[in-house]
Copies of this chain bind each other. A is one copy, B any other.
Amino acid sequence: MAVPSVLTPQSEDFPKWYQDVVAKAEMADNGPVRGTMVIRPYGYAIWERIQSAIDGRIKLAGAQNAYFPLFIPESYLSKEAEHVEGFSPELAVVTHAGGERLAEPIVVRPTSETVIGEFMAKWIQSYRDLPLLLNQWANVVRWELRPRLFLRSSEFLWQEGHTAHASAEDASAYAMRIHLRVYNDFLEKVLAVPTFLGIKPPSERFAGATNTMTCEGMMRDGKALQMATSHELGQNFARAFDIYYQSEEGQAQLCFTTSWGASTRLVGGLIMAHGDDNGLVLPPAVAPWVAVVVAVREDEEILAACRRLHEELTHGGVRAQLDDGRRGSFGRRVTDWEMKGVPVRVEVGPRDLAQGLVTVVRRDTGEKFPVALSEVASLVLRLAEDIQRDMYQAATAFRDARTSDVTSLDEAIVAAQSGFARLTWDLVGEAGEARLKAEAMTVRCLQRSDGSIPANDLEEGLIAIIAKSY
């Protein structure tokens, strides 16, 4: 049954398509204060699944959750020179509290390196206390002049990991471990988003970092989205906040620290990496409901069959929703479930039911097939695995088709109109970065020619991934 799309097509106006999907799938709304965001229940249910998947991986990597204050004395930010320069224009400042003007203004955290640095200095005494591996789930505020829901909001939700180590090597290895086993593993297995892994060129590093690793995903319009970043901070914050430890030999040594984060921006990436002209397309691992059982119309017999199927699915471990047919026409309801990107639709109608059948529809491919009632539960479980795998493969094929190896900056600029360009980093340089900027493009990351992550930007033979980005 063909239902006309209610979205602006992606090919016509991708940003408008995005805005439409966010609204019509009931993911989020703009908040009353400029740039803030209301995450609606369906959007938040997706975020909860993202949180849970990332949190589990962080714990496996040995980090412990904690919570540090929202409010940071303004003076803390200034302790690390590049850090304050990077964040000053984005800060929200509390000047009054408890009915009085404050002696020192308070900054609403834009990130927590400074306040966590202060406590690391307090908690770390000896080499036995290292590594100190902390993480927090929190809201942060960075004032946005051109806000876009999930992608750029003045307040967003994230996790920020902060660790302290005895050596540069240990810090570096841990940041790499987080980057690969937490972020990239999550992106591949849960969000089904393939990435280009690499380090940022020096011009794009986090304010205060000595090295920034990134996972760059490709959206359906060929632009890049930075999905997560991991920073080596060297001894910059350790020096600013006196994070010393006593070595086995009894000497005071400065620690090496790292930080790494992923945010509600991932929800934006999920929407733009998989969505189509009918709305969201969710990988089963992150979908609030893997399947919806849809009554074709309101009818006692149909409803009874739907309830049985819903129960079977739930007992079988499938997160399932029941659409009892009471809310509008079948066509309208199908459009809504497609908009919400539910991976599998089980449609129960009178003609099929008379033959002991239902119709199962895959959201990602649109394939429909008749299935015997008794086989629905096991089929949905199998389909969930298939869809998860196929979506990753489809996204990888899409990305690869839109990624070009080029041999000059001119070619890169042409290729990056609609995808990613791979060009030897030697052929870019600072002058090249300026030219790219004029074309609204950037070097998204530097990687080795085999796609692996280099230790730093000074390695020979690095490849620059060039693209437009969010």
- A positions within 8 Å CB-CB of B: 29, 31-33, 36-41, 44-45, 47-48, 64-73, 76, 88-99, 105-106, 108, 115, 118-119, 122, 128, 134, 138-139, 141, 143, 145, 154-155, 157, 327
The listed residue with most B CB atoms (<10 A of its CB), out of A33, A89, A155, is A33
A418 to chain B: closest CB distance in Å? 33
Complex contact A95–B98 (CB within 8 A): no
Assuming the A-B contacts A64-B45, A94-B93, are A69 and B99 also in contact, with contact meaning beta carbons closer than 8 angstroms in the complex?
Answer: no
Minimum distance in angstroms from A47 CB to a CB of chain B: 8
The answer for the CA separation of A48 and B58 in the assembled complex, in Å, is 15
Q: Are B94 and A65 in contact (CB under 8 A)?
A: no
Instruction: Compute how far the CA of A72 lies from the CA of B364 in the bound complex, rounded to whole angstroms.
Output: 39
Query: In the complex the two chains form, is B92's CB within 8 Å of A96's CB?
Result: yes
A73/B139 in contact, CB under 8 A: no
Closest chain B residue to A153, Cβ basis? B69
For this chain, the copies found in one complex come to 2
Please give, as numbers and ranges, the residues of chain B lying within 8 Å of A67 by CB-CB distance.
37-39, 44, 47, 157
> Of all chain B residues, which has the CB nearest A67?
B39
Knowing that A41-B134, A89-B99 are A-B contacts, what are 17 other residue pairs whose CB atoms are under 8 Å apart, sorted by A's residue number? A31-B69, A32-B115, A33-B73, A38-B66, A38-B68, A44-B64, A45-B64, A70-B139, A70-B155, A91-B98, A91-B99, A93-B94, A94-B108, A95-B95, A108-B108, A138-B139, A139-B139
Complex CA–CA separation, A365 to B110 (angstroms): 47
Which of B44, B71, B96, B134 is in CB contact (< 8 Å) with A31? Answer: B71
A70 touches B119 (CB 8 A): no
Q: Which of B40, B98, B145, B327 contacts A145 (CB 8 A)?
A: B98
Could you tell me the distance in whole angstroms from the C-beta of A32 to the nearest C-beta in chain B?
Answer: 5
Verify B99–A96 contact, CB threshold 8 A: no
User: SS class of chain A's interface: helix, strand, loop or mixed?
Assistant: mixed
Inter-chain contacts of A92 with B (CB < 8 A): 71, 94, 96-98, 106
Pick from B66, B94, B143: contact of A41, CB under 8 Å? B66
Contact A29–B119 (Cβ < 8 Å) = yes
The answer to whether residues A71 and B38 also contact, given A93-B95, A99-B89 and a CB cut-off of 8 A, is no
CA separation between A152 and B92, bound complex, in Å? 24
A188: min CB distance to chain B, Å: 26
Cβ–Cβ < 8 Å partners of A145 in chain B = 98
Chain B contacts of A97 at CB under 8 A? 91-93, 143, 154
